[in-house]
Structure 1
């Protein structure tokens, strides 16, 4: 009788009680090969493991690096406040491949900009996931010769589902190029994706139709460990991601928002992700998070929570940022208020803690109306 080996991972519980996720040795092996193939990791590379290894197997980077015999660098304990440790290791060890969330990459970029002499990091590929990488951040790293490769996935998918590589046959302007880089990317070999409406009907890949993203593949889990939520989360071999997405005719997946995070205002949907990304393109903004607040007339309205860079604190008003957003968004899509804070709370894996922020600011606009 063949022995079946399995291991488990836990989701971070960002939107509720954590779930146990089944991995098999086969799925971990195949997933690692997928990462190696898509990031082009070879024996000549130096791979640094920034992603905590308790988070979806550390995204598999250390496993893929071991497979091909690449040099591995483990930075040990670090925090957002000592991102200089990571940058110094990249320079000293000649790191050519690493992976991290934007919340880690942003302070790394700020430290890089202060270094003299300016390091040349040409050839460094950084897989960026967990949240959409701001265009301003990707452009900033490009000045040092670094390519940010946007990737998408979840604990349930081991996590790799898509990676964003620009197809060589696409004729794009510079603005179109960077706009495309915001997409989560193309499904990697070994995974399949589709989007469906509320009734489960498959939607076209036209770049406009929004629906829930469903995923299946060689390393996508089929169930949760002893959890009744399996029944609602899986259908005919597909995992329901809970992400609202569009898929372009070229096959690029673009996450619009989480089903639970999309802002439903007067019957229209507003993407918190798009507002956050454009806010972080402002030179004064360090971090930005947008959540829904209850509204007496429109059901929900967006509220932005913003951390300014130290040099701009006290010099930028919410009106300045609303004017900036008005260059890209319609008036009805703009946040009703922009709240400046010293720090945005984060989860254990570095994501903005939207669950906490939604609860904290849920009654914010209602209370403001009552005061007036």
Structure 2
């Protein structure tokens, strides 16, 4: 990211890693260079353990990392925390310092004090042979604050029910991450650069434009 110019992280396998082990390192976002520190922070501002499993927002700091933006006398607390840059990326940090990003903080679903990766759910859904596209967003829930809503585009001629897709997901993610709300749509709205326009999906849900089925 620009705020970490000229170098953010390097994805290079440790010495001695070969085969599948080496590729497991290469597909991560790598490690920050010497002089730069990285940490993962949970939804309540607590530092999460570097165990490769605990999920939180990636924060970084270093001699060439931005500490505030032009025109700011005081760093924006939404962007900085105690001298750390809040990247807006969500992921994990391994014990040997490798970063794996799984979502954007604005798109992660905060449910009952836990974070659910919308991208993980989307990728799992799009592995189903009947699914062409899937966009998952967080929507308000009285009990859990937010819960996932799965909007699905089926392949031409394919059929699937919310129950079938939920069963498919249950073999790939934890039960508490499974969406209860489902909507089949003709196409996922896209931004000007071709990314899923999750803001528009949330707006469609809020205005009642989606035909939502609840299961589970």
TM-score > 0.5, shorter chain as reference: yes
Whether contact under 8 Å (2:130, 2:159) holds in the other structure is no
Contact residue 189 and residue 197 of structure 2 kept, 8 A: yes
**Deviation at residue 264 of structure 1 after TM alignment:** 2.8
Shift of 1:171: 7.0
5+ long unaligned stretches in structure 2: none
Aligned counterpart for 2:125 among listed residues 255, 275, 279: 279
SS at match of 1:230: coil
**Does the CA-based 8 Å contact 1:292-1:362 persist in structure 2?**
no
Could you tell me which of 76, 84, 93 is aligned with 1:238? Answer: 84
Q: Is structure 2 residue 81 aligned with structure 1 residue 208?
A: no
1:252, distance to aligned residue in structure 2 (A): 1.9
The answer to whether the Cα contact below 8 Å between 1:307 and 1:342 also exists between their aligned partners in 2 is yes
Quote the Cα distance in structure 2 between the aligned partners of 1:285 and 1:168.
Answer: 40
Q: TM-score, normalised by structure 1?
A: 0.46
Q: Does structure 1 conserve the Cα–Cα contact (< 8 Å) formed by 2:42 and 2:57? A: yes
| Residue 338 (structure 1) aligned to one of 182, 202, 205 | 182
Per-residue CA deviation, residues 83-131 of structure 1 (Å, 9 max, x unaligned), is xxxxxxxxxxxxxxxxxxxxxxxxxxxxxxxxxxxxxxxxxxxxxxxxx
**Counterpart pick for 1:298 among 144, 148, 156:** 144
CA contact (8 A) 1:304 1:338 kept: yes
Which blocks of at least 5 consecutive residues in structure 1 are unaligned?
A: 1-153
Q: CA RMSD in A?
A: 3.6
Structure 2 CA distance, aligned partners of 1:163 and 1:309? Answer: 38
Relative to structure 2, which stretch is displaced further, 201-210 or 321-330? Answer: 201-210
Displacement of 1:217: 4.5
- Aligned partners of 2:14 and 2:112: how far apart in 1? 38
Q: Tell me the number of residue pairs that the alignment of Structure 1 and Structure 2 aligns.
A: 210
CA change 1:238–1:300 in 2 (3 A) is: closer
Match of 2:76, SS?
helix
- For residue 71 of structure 2, what is the aligned residue in structure 1? 226
Query: Are the equivalent residues in 1 in contact too, given 2:55–2:115 (CA < 8 A)?
Result: no
Q: Distance in 2 between matches of 1:315 and 1:229?
A: 54
The CA deviation at 1:322 is 1.7
* SS in structure 1 at match of 2:173: coil
Are 1:316 and 2:160 matched, yes or no?
yes
Q: Which 10-residue stretch deviates more, 291-300 or 193-202?
A: 193-202
Q: Verify the 8 A CA contact 1:293 1:363 in the aligned structure 2.
A: no
Determine the C-alpha separation between the residues in 2 that align with 1:264 and 1:220.
28
Equivalent in the alignment of 1:162: 9
